[in-house]
Structure 1
Amino acid sequence: MVGGFTMDMIQATGAGGVPGPASAMSGAASIGSAQLNFNYFKLFHALFMSSVFVFLYPLGIICARVFGWVRFHVIKMIFATILAFTGFFLAVYMSTWYNKSRYWNTPHQIIGLLVMIAIVVQIVMGFMHHRQRSEERTPKVRAHSWIGQGVLLVGIINGGIGFNFAGASRTPIILYSLSVIAMALFYSLMFYFKSCWNRHKKTLSEIAEEDEYNAHYLSDMVPAPPQTTYQPQEPPRPYH
């Protein structure tokens, strides 16, 4: 709630000490009417960050690791990163409103700042990898992959800490938790199907190689048919 009021401090002084309940509001008057303070900045910060870490980043990883859609991976990650920095700057702006957040010494703020730094590192590593246009999984590529999944996990956990830090009601916390569980199941299923498909392809490849080897081996064992040359015979001479 927001609003304004005036108070006559003279009414609070005197030999009588603390005013009694009957005269507690004597000399005080409200200015205007109280209004509900709905914080749209806090709402958009929660929506942006939840969308980034619960939906967009996981889908971007699935595009690259499961389906091999590198172009969609890059586009989705760029859009998600822009949204993440928008939500981060909203948080920086809101932190000046409250005493508990203006010094940036709370767990949610510290973890959030570290996550944003890690995202910048991921952007640089991803740009360097895609610039080389190589599909080989080098140590840098593995580091990019594992750091990205670590940032994703920490960001999701920090989202739950953020709801507690903001004093959110039970409803958004439940919705956030259900969204995380649903995406975790979908994420796990996608990688499980990818693993099954890789094993299936490996089996088919081994069968094809074995068939090729058997065909080559059998062709060496079967003797080649003898080659014959055709010699034309002279026609019989007529009898005189």
Structure 2
Amino acid sequence: MMMGSGQRGGFRALVALLLAFFPAFIQAQNPAASTFYLEETETQFSLNLANDSSGDVFIYFASPAYSWVGVGFGDGMKNSLMFVMYPNQKGDNVTISPRTADGHSEPSFTSKPQISLLNGTRVTDDGMFVLRARCSDCRVWQGGFLDAKNTAHPMLYAFGPGNRLQSNDVNAPLHRHIRYGKFTMNMVAATGEGAVPANTTASNGVQMVGGMTRDHDRANLAHAVMGCLALFVFWPLNVIFAGFFRNIKIHVGVSVFIMVFLVSAYGLGISTSSEYNRSKSFTSPHQILAFLTILPILLTALLPVKPVSHIHALLPRIHTPLTTLTFVFLVLTGGLGLHLYAAPTSIILAYTAISLLVFIFNVLLQTCIKRRGSAYARATLRRRLGEEDEQDLVLAQYYANRKLEDERSRSPSAASSEYHQHARSLSGGAGGAAGGSSPPGRGGMFGGGSMPGPQYLLNMHPGVPWRPGA
């Protein structure tokens, strides 16, 4: 069937109309956006800048459910504006927290940007965070601004550790990131009619700056490890050295070693406190008790010093109870530190069990030492009384036994000859002094000389008669 000229003209007009509205339709479905997509983690952050007078910024943010994940505007953490996302209390939706940082430390919540969650914001069944939001008044913030004319705006991203974080609080404490990196984003390409960008796996208007960097919280780890070694390894060893070793220098040396570990742990804890909002002001129970424990630590170290111990006779006696009190304070301080760090429950239970075992071990040892006295105290008391040292007595007995064994190992003839020679020397010496030799039967050991012989001694014992020549 042939189409008339009028029909052909109407058809051309319809096609032209559709072609005119098709780009607008496509743009409405896929608004202007710059997209950052990280294939390693399947993380997408897309940005749309509304070109109207509202100045709104539309965000599509999706990522696997780490404890938290964040993307920010800036070349570094200082003076940057970051959007940090983590699951809510129920775990079925997300909490979005705009934050700023004044350095390389945990960012703090800022209330200036107003974020409205839109339909589609959720935690998916396969554990993905999905955020669809409109941000008002977020192009300028304290210390920085979003440059809509910049084709390579500096950006950064970071991922929290695997620890579970579920909170509705926009001020929720964050663990230090385990991975982070940088990229640039084309803000000109992101500018257009305001709408939430679409889900995609293709980057657009983004240039990566280096690779993803793995981070380590070594200072906090060293702080915990050094404190645990001092309490659970060197402390009970020092109790053993103090009670069962006479050389007091070993106890003193290990005590100094423990002090070095504790001072290092204190220094590391103070240096890392500025990295977290919950510890910047030094008002947490962990920090307060740690500072209070410094006093018994110093007293424990100073009481054994002679000028201090001689002030009063009771001072040396409180050294042992004070060490027990110091140990308890330090263990409680460590437990509060685990709570402050939001450590996993398994770590807290293991710490509690080890603390109880070491405490019981120390108490039993100290009770035993108190009853029998320390080896050093016993040795000191013997020296004051002028008695021989226990070790000297053992050595003397050892040499006496050796001499006796040597005498017994000789031949009987040699021993008998030596014995009679010794006897004749005794009797001969006495007879020589009298001026003559002794008669037979009256010399040697059977009398003679100036000393009474065994005959006289036998007569002194009733019931044992003596006969001459017997």
TM-score normalised by L of structure 2: 0.36
Aligned partner of 1:95 in structure 2 is 273
1:146 aligns with 2:324: no
Give the alignment partner of residue 159 of structure 1, picking from 334, 339, 342. 334
Displacement of 1:82 after TM fit?
0.9
Distance (whole Å) between structure 1 residues aligned to residue 186 and residue 284 of structure 2? 37
The answer to whether 1:74 aligns with 2:249 is no
Q: Match for 2:293 among 103, 106, 115?
A: 115
Residue 183 of structure 1: aligned partner: 358
Q: Which amino acid in structure 2 is aligned with residue 150 of structure 1? A: L
The whole-number CA distance in structure 1 between the counterparts of 2:369 and 2:325 is 20
Q: Does 1:64 align with 2:242?
A: yes
Q: How far apart in 2 are the matches of 1:92 and 1:22?
A: 45
Give the Å deviation of 1:20.
5.0
Aligned-partner Cα distance in 2 for 1:99–1:13: 35
Distance 1:79 1:195, change over 3 A: closer
Greater RCO structure (CA 8 Å; 6+ sep):
1
Question: Shift of residue 155 of structure 1?
Answer: 0.5
1:35 partner amino acid: T
Question: What does residue 50 of structure 1 align with?
Answer: 228
Q: Is the 8 A contact 2:309 2:315 kept in 1?
A: no
* 8 Å CA contact retained: 1:12, 1:19: no
Q: Distance in 1 between matches of 2:236 and 2:366?
A: 11
- Match of 2:305, SS state, is helix
Change in CA separation of 1:197 and 1:57 when aligned onto 2, cut-off 3 Å: same
Alignment of 1:207-226 (within 5 A): none
Q: Give the CA deviation at 1:77.
A: 0.8
In 1, the alpha carbon distance for the partners of 2:336 and 2:190 equals 42
The answer to which structure has the higher helix fraction is 1
Q: Deviations over 1:98-118 (max 9, x none)?
A: 222222111112212222343
More strand, by proportion: 2
Tell me if 1:16 matches 2:194: yes
Larger Rg over CA atoms:
2
Q: Distance in 2 between matches of 1:49 and 1:66?
A: 25
One-letter amino acid of the counterpart of residue 34, structure 1: M
Amino acid at match of 2:330: G
Partner in structure 2 of residue 85 of structure 1: 263
User: Contact (CA 8 Å) 1:95, 1:101: kept in 2 or not?
Assistant: yes
Partner SS state of residue 293, structure 2: helix
The gaps in structure 2 that reach 5 residues or longer are 1-178, 374-470
- Structure 1 residue matching 2:288: 3-state secondary structure: helix
Partner of 1:238: none
Distance in 1 of aligned mates of 2:252 and 2:194: 73
1:139 deviates by 2.2
Contact 1:62 1:190 in 2 (8 A): yes
TM-score (norm 1): 0.64
Counterpart for residue 3 of structure 1? 181
Measured in 2, the distance between the counterparts of 1:148 and 1:111 equals: 16
Is the CA contact 2:180–2:213 (under 8 Å) kept in the aligned structure 1? yes
Q: What code does the residue aligned with 2:263 have?
A: F
Kindly indicate whether the alpha-carbon contact (under 8 Å) linking 2:230 and 2:262 is maintained by their aligned counterparts in 1: yes
Aligned to 1:35: 213
Q: Give 2:253's aligned amino acid.
A: I
Shift of 1:42: 1.7
2:309–2:316 Cα contact (<8 Å) kept: no
For the residue of structure 2 that corresponds to 1:186, the secondary structure is helix
Deviations 1:14-65 (A, max 9, x none): 6635545459x86555532223322222222111101112222333234335
> Taking structure 1 as reference, are residues 107 and 4 closer, same or farther at Cα in structure 2, changes over 3 Å only?
farther
1:71 deviates by 2.5
